[in-house]
Amino acid sequence: MKTRRVTAGVASVLALSLGAAACGGGGKDDDGNGGNAKKDAALTSIVNASDKKGGTVTYQHSDVPDSLDPGNSYYGWVMNFSRLYGRTLTTFKPAAGKEGLEVVPDLAESLGKPSPDAKTWTYKLRKGVKFEDGTPVTSKDVKYAIERSNFAPEALSNGPTYFKAFLEGGDKYKGPYKDKSPEGIKSIETPDDHTIVFHLNQPFADFDYLATFSQTAPVPRAKDDGAKYVQHIVSSGPYKFQSYQEGRSATLVRNPEWDPKTDPIRKALPDKVEIKFKVNPVTVDNNLLSDKITADAAGTGVQPQTQPKVLSGKLAKQTDISYAGATQYLALNVHVKPFDNIHCRKAVQYAIDKQSVVDAMGGAPKGDVATTLLPPTVNGYTKFDTYATPGNKGDVDKAKDELKQCGKPNGFTTNLTARSDRPAEVAAATAIQNALKKVGIQAEIKQFPSGKYFSNFAGVPSYVHKHKLGMMSMAWGADWPTGYGFLDQIVNGAAIKPSGGNNLMELDDPKINKALKEGIANTDEAERTKTWGEIDKMVMDTATVVPLVYRKNLLFRPESAANVTVTQAYLGMYDYVLMSSAK
């Protein structure tokens, strides 16, 4: 996902890598403030725990979401945020530390019941769950939500398409906007209003993770109008939209039809949730420090300019440095010359000074030099470095040798993308640009807004080819906590699509595609885990991905923020289901 998840299988590793920090209980800190406000406290505990109802939680974001429609989003922060108004079949437990990686039933009564061959999965929905207009939520609403989100790229192109890939007949079904038959896709059965059955085309042991996707949040067919649905989303959660101004703001208020008896995981403490978009990222930081807002919705941490303010003095106790379970990398598109030549790609691999990239992004608090696509906290990670350079500072001689082999001894010109509202990413792109100049590669930086980065620009092959976007900035976290959940949508040829794509390299290697398919079908967990590390090496051998940084988030929590804890299920940001206001 556009920066998303880590692995349940490495919960113990996470506890160590996060320093097992500050796991004290309640009480008062040195300044007499309530809660356990210590540095890194939110990594393993709930800071400023409270049962107080009321108040307003306020978020700001430096750009716009790809969409707040749960069925049309691929950003991790939206999937975290959308749990306030959309209930999914399963979800990640709102809890501190490793408990937050546990998948628990949400709209469903229990986790899925698989057939012996793991090709059929059955869920029973809780009774008594209603939409905001008082109509009951049924299994048909969940089925329809999956159909619209996975099978209608002409209207909803931002989200993943796992259901389309793994449901029987998924390659033939045209989606609900073209196929008007009432039965929809036959491989999702709804024998009654509270039962939904999925028939898959191959074994899929990770299906309960797939059921956590916001795409399983129910949508009433009669209220859906495709891409316009975001203007009037029908809530199944504790909050509903009071207002929505596209590109500007949204306000959520209590949903009177939400019944806490049917929802064991949400306390829904705030009366109101507000979010504003297109706020300068440094302004967002300043508003956090002055306690004017509750959290930065993006969840990626403060900007480099803000770091000195929060890492020293009294403010340090309000920070949490979390591993994001994500890798920042450079995608080299194989259909944009000269990157159709592997030696030109290898020249970039050796030319880049990765340490300068880390420094540009904010140094150690923002991450470590990356040498693999899989980050160390994801199941299947294997330590290796295919394109090692001294001190991770690049190797000019090797880069120039590769340039000779690709027929460009004097270098070449290309374009390098970055998201305009992410200063750290722009700074990283500048560091890459400077390193490439040393070997004769001239890269012009093209900036695009993050909200449309994938739907209109970097994720649209026709646009990429036409505008010669040879090198594209990318950050990725696991769609769910396994190596497959990290790799599939960014290296599988089947993930290439007309818009909203994440395989920015347009890598379509038959051996890699086959290894992914066979790996997820393997019921031997140890062998399956081994496969993900092997695929990582295969990808690096293609030289299409330049790993840059294993991402960390330097998060800041204002004193008025209550029930604050980091969730590794959503890329090391704060858990928005738990968060409330102490004001």
Cα within 13 Å of Cα(411), Cβ side: 16
Question: Stretch 210-219: mean pLDDT, rounded?
Answer: 97
Same domain, 133 and 230: yes
Would 205 be classed as within a structural domain? yes
Question: Stretch 301-330: mean pLDDT, rounded?
Answer: 93
550 pLDDT higher than 50: yes
Decide: helix, strand or coil at residue 302: coil
Among the candidates 255, 286, 317, a domain finishes at: 286
Would 562 be classed as within a structural domain? no
What's the confidence (pLDDT) of residue 31? 37
Same domain, 271 and 332: no
pTM score of the predicted model: 0.82
| 553 neighbors 322 (Cβ within 8 angstroms) | yes
Domain housing 412: 328-552
The Cα–Cα gap between 495 and 212 comes to 20
| CB crowding 130-163: b at 16 or more within 10 Å, else e | bbbeeeebbbbbbbbbbbbbbbbbebbbbbbbbb
522 pLDDT higher than 90: no
Q: What is the mean pLDDT of the chain?
A: 92
Identify the band that residue 20 occupies on the pLDDT scale cut at 50, 70 and 90.
very low
Same domain, 111 and 162: yes
Same domain, 456 and 394: yes
What's the confidence (pLDDT) of residue 482? 82
Same domain, 230 and 334: no
The number of domains in the chain is 2
Would 323 be classed as within a structural domain? no
Q: Which of 344, 270, 292 is nearest to 52 (CA)?
A: 270
Identify the band that residue 319 occupies on the pLDDT scale cut at 50, 70 and 90.
very high
Same domain, 357 and 238: no
3 pLDDT higher than 80: no
Would 382 be classed as within a structural domain? yes
Same domain, 543 and 404: yes
CATH number of domain containing 343:
3.10.105.10
534 pLDDT higher than 50: yes
Would 270 be classed as within a structural domain? yes
Decide: helix, strand or coil at residue 450: helix
98 CB burial (10 A radius; 0-12, 13-18, 19+)? middle
**Over the stretch 53-94, which tens digit does the pLDDT of each residue have?**
999 999 999 999 999 999 999 999 999 999 999 999 999 999
**Over the stretch 87-139, which tens digit does the pLDDT of each residue have?**
999 999 999 999 998 999 999 999 999 998 889 999 999 999 999 999 999 99
245 CB burial (10 A radius; 0-12, 13-18, 19+)? exposed
| CB crowding 404-427: b at 16 or more within 10 Å, else e | eebebeebbebbbbbbbbbbbbbb
**Over the stretch 566-580, which tens digit does the pLDDT of each residue have?**
998 898 999 999 999
pLDDT > 90: percent of the chain: 83
What's the confidence (pLDDT) of residue 1? 66
18 pLDDT higher than 50: no
CA dihedral in degrees (103, 106, 108, 110; nearest 10)? 40
Amino acid at 285: D
The Cα–Cα gap between 194 and 205 comes to 23
Same domain, 196 and 336: no
Among the candidates 262, 286, 310, a domain finishes at: 286
What's the confidence (pLDDT) of residue 36? 57
Would 164 be classed as within a structural domain? yes
Same domain, 257 and 400: no
Would 376 be classed as within a structural domain? yes
27 pLDDT higher than 50: no
Higher pLDDT, 218 or 9: 218
Identify the band that residue 9 occupies on the pLDDT scale cut at 50, 70 and 90.
very low
The Cα–Cα gap between 405 and 460 comes to 30
pLDDT > 70: percent of the chain: 94
Same domain, 269 and 358: no
Identify the band that residue 34 occupies on the pLDDT scale cut at 50, 70 and 90.
very low
Question: Stretch 461-472: mean pLDDT, rounded?
Answer: 98
Among the candidates 256, 286, 316, a domain finishes at: 286
Same domain, 282 and 332: no
Question: Stretch 534-541: mean pLDDT, rounded?
Answer: 98
Instruction: Calculate the alpha carbon distances from 172 to 167, 168, 425 in Å.
Output: 10, 9, 39
Same domain, 401 and 527: yes
What's the confidence (pLDDT) of residue 205? 82
Handedness of CA 391, 392, 393, 395 (dihedral sign): positive
What's the confidence (pLDDT) of residue 11? 35
Cβ neighbours around 533 below 10 Å, total: 19
CATH number of domain containing 137:
3.40.190.10
Would 301 be classed as within a structural domain? no
Residue 486: in which H helix or E strand, if any? Answer: helix 483-491
5 pLDDT higher than 70: no
Handedness of CA 447, 448, 449, 453 (dihedral sign): negative
